[in-house]
Structure 1
Amino acid sequence: MESVHSAARDRADIAGRDDLDVVLRRFYTAAFADPLIGPFFTEIAGTSLEVHLPRITDFWERALFRSAEYQRNAFAPHAALHSVEPMTAEHFGRWVQLWHATVDGLHAGPHAERAKAQGERIAVAMLKRLSGGRADTSGDGLGFIPLAAVELRAAA
């Protein structure tokens, strides 16, 4: 267990936009390639990582540091995607799993922990709003798995 703790000490916390850019580029590269959630980005939305990255970096910079101007409606594009292909608890659970794994692989500290917690809160809120409040986010069964990244960390 000591090696896990020393590995965490070797990773710096997320310090600002430059760190967020690296985290988000790595995360979205994995998300775009993921067989479960990738098609939402690549086929349904036709999103380009280079177009998406500055916008989402603004979002996360504002969420973590309150230092960016993010004036967009984060829900609207997800609602549009959901109208074409419904996003389920499984999709959001996979997003959270990849998000945790990416953040943990690069950073450790209060901002990294806040980023993971905020990602979970956003995923739960988005899923509930898209499903009209009917989504199962309990984590039992095939639904939303907010702590799925724990299994990834335990296996590493």
Structure 2
Amino acid sequence: MDIATRADLDVLLRRFYTAAFADPLIGPFFTEIAGTDLDVHLPRITDFWERALWRTADYRSNAFAPHAALHTARPLTAEHFGRWVQLWHATVDGLHRGPDADRAKAQGERIALAMLRRLGGKDAPTAGDGPGFVPLAAVELRMAA
């Protein structure tokens, strides 16, 4: 079944962030550096994704600013964004199939690449060799096709 409602997004995002917080590579950005309280943060993230997928939520925050602050505290790399994409795809695929699920995965890839480029400049590396890493160069090639 496809992602169809805000409630679907809530379940998807809770599952994704539970995995992301526990991940040894990207988890510390959420738990140690940002000290993210998922119950407080989740409504805003859900607004973001509801707007990204269906243009129905009133999301007006600057999604880049908190990532820039994290990057200042500890640099975010292509490996970190690649892991985020990998976990995002796995979570979406584990719960949903359909056009909106595909759109959510593609949008996640676009966001990861845009964030990486904004943080590291247009020449930011897009490949890595860490364990479980999804090279963002591969994402770029797929998006260009």
Q: TM-score, normalised by structure 2?
A: 0.89
Of 114, 122, 135, the match for 1:145: 135
Of 42, 49, 53, the match for 1:60: 49
Moved more, 109-118 or 49-58: 49-58
Residue 126 (structure 2) pairs with residue 130 (structure 1) = no
Identical amino acids, percent of aligned pairs: 76
Deviation, structure 1 residue 16: 1.6
In 2, are the aligned partners of 1:136 and 1:144 still within 8 Å (CA)? no
Distance 1:52 1:103 in 2: 19
Of 33, 46, 55, the match for 2:35: 46
CA RMSD of aligned residues (A): 1.5
- Superposition map of 1:6-155 within 5 A: 12-137=1-126, 139=127, 141-142=128-129, 145-146=135-136
Q: TM-score, normalised by structure 1?
A: 0.83
Q: Can you give the 5+ residue segments of structure 1 that lack an aligned partner in the other structure?
A: 1-11, 149-156
Q: Secondary structure at the match of 1:69?
A: coil
> Would you say how many aligned residue pairs link Structure 1 and Structure 2?
135
In 1, are the aligned partners of 2:53 and 2:103 still within 8 Å (CA)? yes
Runs of 4+ in 1 over 2 A off after TM superposition: 141-144
